[in-house]
Amino acid sequence: MNTTILLFLVQDGITNGAIYALLGLALVLVFAVTRVILIPQGEFVTYGALTYATLSAGQVPGTAQLAAVMGIVAFGLDLYLARKSLHAKRILRAFAVNIAFPFAILALTYALAGRHNTIPVNTALSLLIVAAIGLFLYRIAFQPIAHTSVLVLLIASVGCHLAMQGFGLVFFGAEGLRGPAVSNAALTIGPLSFSGQSLAVYGITVAFIVGLWLFFDYTLYGKALRATAVNRLGARLVGIRTSLSGQLAFLLASLIGAISGILIVPITTLYYDTGFLIGLKGFIAAIIGGLISYPITAVAALGVGLVEAFSSFYASNFKEVIVFTLIIPVLVLRSLAAPEVEEEQD
Amino acid sequence: MSAPLLAVSDVHISYGKVEAVRSVSLDVSANQIVTIIGANGAGKTTLLNAIMGILPLKGRVTFGGEDMTSFDIEDRVAAGLSLVPEHRELFGTMNVEDNLQLGAFRIAKATAAQSFERVYTLFPRLKERRKQLAGTLSGGEQQMLAMGRALMGAPKLLMLDEPSLGLAPIIVSDIFRTVGELRAAGVSVLLVEQNAQAALKIADHAYVMELGEFVLDGPAAEIATNQQVVASYLGFQHA
Amino acid sequence: MSQRLSILVFALVMAALPLIPEMPPFWIVLLDNIGLSALVAMGLVLLTGVGGLTSFGQAAFCGFGAYTTAVLTTQYGLSPWLSLPASLVVSGVAAVILGVVTVRLSGHYLPLGTLAWGIGLYYLFSKLEFLGRNDGITQIPPLQIGHFKMLDAGTIYYAIWFAVIVSAILTLNLLDSRTGRGIRALRRGHVAAEAFGVKTARAKLLVFVYAAVLAGLSGWLYAHFQRAATPTPFGAQADIEYLFVAVVGGAGYVWGGVLGAAIVVILKEVLQGYLPLIFGGQGQLEIIVFGIMLVALVQFAPSGVWPWLTGLLPLKSRLRRPDTSIALSAPVRAAPPPGPLLRIDNARKQFGGVTAVNNVSFEVGAREILALIGPNGAGKSTTFNLITGVLKATSGTVSFAGQPIIDAPPQAITQLGISRTFQHVKLVPDMTVLENVAIGAHLRGRSGAIASMLRLDRADEARLLAEATRQIERVGLGDQIDQLAGSLSLGQQRIVEIARALCVNPMLLLLDEPAAGLRHMEKQRLATLLRQLRDGGMSVLLVEHDMGFVMDLADRIVVLDFGTRIAEGTPEAIKTNPDVIKAYLGAVA
């Protein structure tokens, strides 16, 4: 192996690793705040990517309609919950979030579809659509069972993954799609040439990590999210609505997923079920981080990307096998450092 | 006399089929310290948790004239009710200042600045330790922080669950002095305490709880001299 | 209808189904698929519903079973009957490897680990040359008995359903046994179970391996049914579908697995027919409905269809009164030397900078009731935990019957004859009083999982249940013996804990606030019981806040305050001790 190949593999690994890092961070965030192991994180990637690709092809993506339908269901749930104390203010708020918001997006999508929109417009629209889906997903599937065990939440999470993957097939078909690159610029440093796309991947990953750090450490809402993660009862006792924290966490996770998807789809063809595998690689990083640590998760994600890049060079047939069985040594290490297992209360 | 600030009427609380609290009613008026005393397992903590909305109850809870039986915890906090729970429930991996700041989550920023002022005056120790992680504080400091965090939200009624639990006597007396100061500052207090002697000393009114029911209530001074109470809760030298 | 009779009727009905004239062959294929799925789901029921663990790797274990027999029969010409044990062993060993590294971790690592591992294995199956890569292995021989070959769906049907019914019986037997009680305590009572000698990590591994072996069996049958093994049925989609099957049927019930399999297989068939008409297109659109159903189920019917169904039927569980005339031999222990039974010498426990127990010394004599009192936070519970081995002392010694026990693990201490109750009641709420109490006798039984499955444990089990019944009657809860522990009042639950502790046949009983939550009459009965136990030769060490109760009952009292012993003596002496009065009244000025 010569240096060029080595550098190329490292570069490839870091590009993929950066995506896994984004996803891993989102998984840690969601788990910390809601205890949900977010299996459908991968679907956010797929939805973001394919919504963007569909919009770029001038069509209306089914995800926009899905967001609207989910909004209606969420509104119904809110109304049912508030049936005993129907304040106008509360209903108005629920209407704004659950009905006005997704239908505005839907209207915007229809209004803009078919034209040759710029890439930023399509990106923004895709992000809005997927963020709405993420928000409503928490409201519908997880908020009613937020107090139950991790296992129950996990089963619901798997259900969401199944349904969303199935809808993905309906919306985008079994054929893969590609989208236009965010940037066509290129940069050459010595033997390495960086495409604008991979530079965008690095830039956005770093921006997100810094942004999340600033958000969590310096804003009241960021602190409230952390507080929810540290002590749910304590958070409720100071008046933090843990359901809002959960929605916020899902909103962030779906945004991160969608951004990752939009970053990848110009590089590789994405299918309706590709996101699942990509999300799971983020999971491997998140598990290495114990589903707690953001920095370890980010570093581990780069490691996963590198292992993948090198194994695709040395044993391309067994690339996935190697990446996924990485979990075994990781679990061995975690097991050695295992704390007491707590008793389950349900 | 005006309507009480907190009125709990005919409350029942069950864990599954087991009824932990039966037909309990109590009032707390403005500027009043009310205490509930009783043995371990009598249902005192259960009652406080249910008033706060952590546990479901049957019956009626009104606060400031508003029926809040169907309110969430967060709405009760917004209405001016606050609980310092038995286990304090601090944000252990965050520092003292962040804990206090989150205590003011529901109130306006300008008011929060005043609250900081007030809490640091009540508990100068917290100001010294404001950059320290809550989980690394001593037991007494944690109790101060828990009370401080609750006060940051400028509550009308503060409910304290066993504030003296596991604390050295000198700190206990500090805490109880602070409770007295709160009343002077216009905050009502509902105090659950095993240290009946100390609680009765500062309280205006007291309820005695046994096996999920109130068996006795009256002005704290009267309860403190009640033969039965003395025998059961104020030391066993007369038992 | 008794359970045995129900199973017999079910078996006969299943046997008769293919014989119905005009039965469409396609329905038989569906029934075969239901049986295959039910086998896997049954394992998940044990793992998820009963044990509180879950796995997304069950399809991979099926794959191990299928590929093992595929290779052995096609490449080595082995008879399928000989490859059966190999299939089961390979699945089981794979589970041991994964299980050993995950069972010690908290619950969510197992599903994530198995999910990743399952996908890795799926890719492995589809890439390995000797497994035929994506094309898999074909021309697997059919099952054969003599010259009779099980070639079509109607004949292998009998093999599949024979396996399902036998597995169900074995699983039910396992759950209703000494080992089974340990498994059932995993989810909501493992702390207490561990204290009474249930090795919970081993029990978790056992259910994980058991579930994998059932999946391997299903894979073996599948290979000989399809006569081929390809990677697709062993991928992530199938993993998730099995979990769905278990949840639909009722993850806590063995027959729920079978019912769930029937519902899911039939539903899938129906949906695959209709969904493309609604959505257009093709592919596995049924996953949309499955996914939404899964979310709805955990919200509205978390215990699944089976309990709902049995609730409709007038089935009454058979009351079981164990025969209390069967004796359980007392554990063999060396007679304690004369002198105090328990001696605590300068015990000290520090947590970080806080000294919870500060050089405390006291003794509990034979046939003595000693009470440990003091304000909250005085170090009483910590002292308890030092004696029972839950915590290790920073310094000092604890010896029992002349033997130092300071470094012994909790189970060894239980075996020596110290048993305890907990301040916060730790019973398994969905087990009966009898079953909960029998956990106390765990270390006095011998039968393991295999013996239990084959019902070779009955004599041993009868002795344990007889002992448990005797102790329940002794504490006066004979009428509640068949009730679920969670349905009793808190006071009664405390008494159940005492019965459980008595099943150890202890020399020393540690009671943590036994009178809390008891009514006056109940307290008096408890005091009478404890006196009887003492007069029968047992020593009792109790922590209690109810002074009336303590003063009336205890022979001697030790008073702790801030981790330090401030007084010791008879109730009369303690009542008038000025230090005690001061500590108890609190030092508030």
- Rank B82-86, C116-120, C186-190 by mean pLDDT and report only the highest: B82-86
Domain boundary, last residue among B134, B154, B174 = B154
Domain assignment present for C302: no
B135 touching chain C per CB within 8 A? no
Domain assignment present for C208: yes
Which CATH number belongs to the domain containing residue B173 in this structure? 3.40.50.300
B113 touching chain A per CB within 8 A? no
Domain assignment present for A346: no
Which CATH number belongs to the domain containing residue C430 in this structure? 3.40.50.300
**Beta pairing, strands C148-150 & C143-145:** antiparallel
Domain assignment present for C134: yes
Flag if C240 and A158 touch (Cβ within 8 Å).
yes
Tell me the chain A residues in contact with residue B52 when contact means C-beta distances shorter than 8 Å: 237
Flag if C376 and B162 touch (Cβ within 8 Å).
yes
Tell me the chain C residues in contact with residue B37 when contact means C-beta distances shorter than 8 Å: none
* B235 closest CB neighbour out of C354, C517, C584: C584
Q: Do C203 and C349 belong together in one domain?
A: no
Domain assignment present for A230: yes
Residue with more model confidence, A234 or C487: A234
A175 touching chain C per CB within 8 A? no
Nearest CA in chain C to B163: C376
Check whether A294 has a pLDDT greater than 90. no
Long-range CB pairs of C332-340, under 8 A, 24+ apart, other chains included: C333/C401, C333/C416, C333/C417, C333/C507, C334/C401, C336/C366, C336/C401, C336/C402, C336/C507, C337/C401, C337/C402, C339/C402, C340/C364, C340/C365, C340/C366
pLDDT in tens, B18-75: 788 999 999 999 999 999 988 777 889 999 999 999 999 999 999 998 888 888 899 9
A314 touching chain C per CB within 8 A? no
Residue with more model confidence, A129 or A331: A129
Nearest CA in chain B to A240: B74
Q: Do B166 and B147 belong together in one domain?
A: no
Q: Answer for the pair C519, C494: CB distance below 8 angstroms, yes or no.
A: no
Domain assignment present for C303: no
Domain assignment present for A343: no
Residue A255 pLDDT: 96
Tell me the chain C residues in contact with residue A170 when contact means C-beta distances shorter than 8 Å: 279-281, 285, 288
What are A14's two structure tokens?
């870091």
Residue C319 pLDDT: 60
Domain boundary, last residue among B98, B120, B154 = B154
Domain assignment present for B3: no
Domain assignment present for B11: no
Domain boundary, last residue among B154, B186, B204 = B154
CA pair distance C71, B74, nearest whole angstrom: 62
Flag if C120 and A327 touch (Cβ within 8 Å).
yes
Residue with more model confidence, B237 or C40: C40
Q: Answer for the pair C249, C258: CB distance below 8 angstroms, yes or no.
A: yes
Domain assignment present for A345: no
Domain assignment present for B92: yes
Sign (positive/negative) of CA torsion A316, A321, A327, A328?
A: negative
B197 touching chain C per CB within 8 A? yes
Domain assignment present for A92: yes
Of A126-140, A158-172, B70-84, B189-203, the one with minimum mean pLDDT is B189-203
Domain assignment present for B34: yes
Closest CA to A201 of A262, A129, A247: A262
Q: Do B97 and B214 belong together in one domain?
A: no
Domain assignment present for B117: yes
B46 touching chain C per CB within 8 A? no
pLDDT in tens, C126-156: 999 999 888 999 999 999 888 888 888 889 9
**Based on the structure, what is the number of domains in chain B?**
2
Q: Provide the percentage of residues in chain C whose pLDDT is more than 90.
A: 54
Mean pLDDT of chain A: 89
Domain assignment present for A341: no
A241 touching chain B per CB within 8 A? yes
CA distances, B15 to each of A131, A171, C433 (Å): 39, 47, 18
Check whether C521 has a pLDDT greater than 50. yes
Nearest CA in chain A to C97: A328
Phi, psi of C562 (to 5 degrees): 50, 45
Q: Answer for the pair A159, C294: CB distance below 8 angstroms, yes or no.
A: yes
Q: Do B96 and B143 belong together in one domain?
A: yes
Measure the CA dihedral C282/C284/C285/C286, to 10°: 140
Domain assignment present for A169: yes
Flag if C575 and B169 touch (Cβ within 8 Å).
no
Tell me the chain C residues in contact with residue A341 when contact means C-beta distances shorter than 8 Å: 104-107, 190
**Based on the structure, what is the number of domains in chain C?**
2
Q: Do B108 and B186 belong together in one domain?
A: no
- Rounded to 10 deg, the angle between the C236-249 and C254-279 helix axes is 120
**A112 min Cα distance to partner chain B (Å):** 40
Domain assignment present for B8: no
pLDDT in tens, A76-100: 999 988 777 667 888 899 999 999 9
Domain assignment present for C216: yes
Q: Give the structural domain span for B126.
A: 88-154
- Rounded to 10 deg, the angle between the A41-56 and A242-264 helix axes is 50
B205: Cα separation from own chain's centroid: 14
Mutate to test the interface with B, among C351, C354, C576, C588 (most CBs of B within 10 A): C588
Q: Give the structural domain span for C498.
A: 342-585
Domain assignment present for B49: yes
**Based on the structure, what is the number of domains in chain A?**
1
Flag if A174 and C283 touch (Cβ within 8 Å).
yes
Q: Do B124 and B238 belong together in one domain?
A: no
pLDDT in tens, C300-324: 988 888 888 888 876 555 566 788 8
pTM, entire model: 0.88
B41 touching chain C per CB within 8 A? yes
Flag if C116 and A284 touch (Cβ within 8 Å).
yes
Mean pLDDT of chain C: 89
Chains that touch C (3 or more CB pairs under 8 A): A, B
Nearest CA in chain C to A287: C109
Residue C583 pLDDT: 67
Domain boundary, last residue among C235, C259, C279 = C235
Residue A339 pLDDT: 54
Using DSSP's 3-state secondary structure scheme, residue C538 falls into: coil
Domain assignment present for C30: yes
Flag if C108 and A170 touch (Cβ within 8 Å).
no
Tell me the chain C residues in contact with residue B162 when contact means C-beta distances shorter than 8 Å: 376
Residue C106 pLDDT: 66
Check whether C157 has a pLDDT greater than 90. yes
pLDDT in tens, C163-185: 999 999 999 999 999 999 999 99
Closest CA to C255 of C212, C318, C314, C305: C305
Q: Do B137 and B176 belong together in one domain?
A: no
Q: Do C231 and C346 belong together in one domain?
A: no
pLDDT in tens, C233-255: 998 889 889 999 999 998 889 99
CA pair distance C292, C289, nearest whole angstrom: 5
Q: How many CA atoms, within 13 angstroms, populate the side-chain half-sphere of residue A58? A: 3
Band of the pLDDT at A248, cuts 50, 70, 90?
A: very high
Residue B19 pLDDT: 83
Region for C233 from its dihedrals, namely left if φ exceeds 0, alpha if ψ lies in -120 to 50, beta otherwise: alpha
B169 touching chain C per CB within 8 A? yes
Q: Provide the percentage of residues in chain A whose pLDDT is more than 90.
A: 60
Tell me the chain A residues in contact with residue C285 when contact means C-beta distances shorter than 8 Å: 166, 169-170
Domain boundary, last residue among C186, C213, C235 = C235
Domain assignment present for B6: no
Phi, psi of C274 (to 5 degrees): -100, -35
Q: How many CA atoms, within 13 angstroms, populate the side-chain half-sphere of residue B76? A: 27
Across A295-321, average pLDDT = 91
**Chain A 81-100, residues with CB within 8 Å of chain B CB atoms:** 84-85
Of A52-66, A185-199, A284-298, C460-474, the one with minimum mean pLDDT is A185-199
Q: Do B134 and B167 belong together in one domain?
A: no
Q: Do B100 and B214 belong together in one domain?
A: no
Using DSSP's 3-state secondary structure scheme, residue A70 falls into: helix
Domain boundary, last residue among C215, C235, C255 = C235
